[in-house]
């Protein structure tokens, strides 16, 4: 038997709760078992096969989500490029100044309060 470790609170409308209870009675199992089965099936079955999910509004929203996902991926690539450029600029600056830059002290030293880190930074 599977061991369950996560406990969640789920908010349902009265109608949804009634449907869940009816399904649990029909399958002769607990409501949790019905929810687990639905969640498992949700991951293996296309959940966009119902008529409501193929409405023009739903398809438009799915297209918008796909566009947003592409935009986010582009922003992540741009951020990574900017970080690499900053590292290269720092290395170039260190090389042109004749020596390596001093490493930046770790901002979150374990066991130090914010005030202690601030004093340490002021003292050098």
Over residues 15-47, the pLDDT tens digits come to 988 998 998 999 999 988 888 888 888 776 555
* Rounded distance between C-alpha atoms, residue 79 and residue 73, angstroms: 10
Over residues 61-94, the pLDDT tens digits come to 888 988 999 999 999 999 999 999 998 888 888 8
Cβ proximity of 31 and 21 under 8 Å: yes
* Rounded distance between C-alpha atoms, residue 12 and residue 9, angstroms: 10
Half-sphere exposure of 104 (CA within 13 A, CB side): 4
Among candidate residues 35, 41, 37, the one with its CA nearest the CA of residue 12 = 35
Residue 50's pLDDT band (boundaries 50, 70, 90)? very low
The pTM score is 0.36
Tokens of 78: 């741009």
């Amino acid at each position: 038997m599977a061991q369950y470790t996560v406990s969640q609170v789920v908010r349902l409308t009265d109608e949804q709760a009634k449907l869940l209870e009816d399904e649990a009675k029909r399958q002769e199992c607990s409501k949790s078992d019905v929810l687990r089965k639905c969640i498992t099936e949700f991951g293996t079955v296309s959940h966009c096969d119902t008529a409501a999910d193929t409405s023009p509004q739903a398809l438009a929203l799915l297209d918008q989500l796909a566009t947003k996902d592409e935009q986010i991926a582009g922003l992540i690539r741009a951020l990574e490029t900017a970080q690499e450029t900053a590292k290269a600029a720092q290395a170039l600056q260190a090389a042109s100044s004749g020596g390596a830059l001093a490493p930046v002290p770790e901002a979150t030293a374990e066991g130090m309060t914010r005030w202690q880190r601030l004093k340490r930074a002021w003292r050098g």
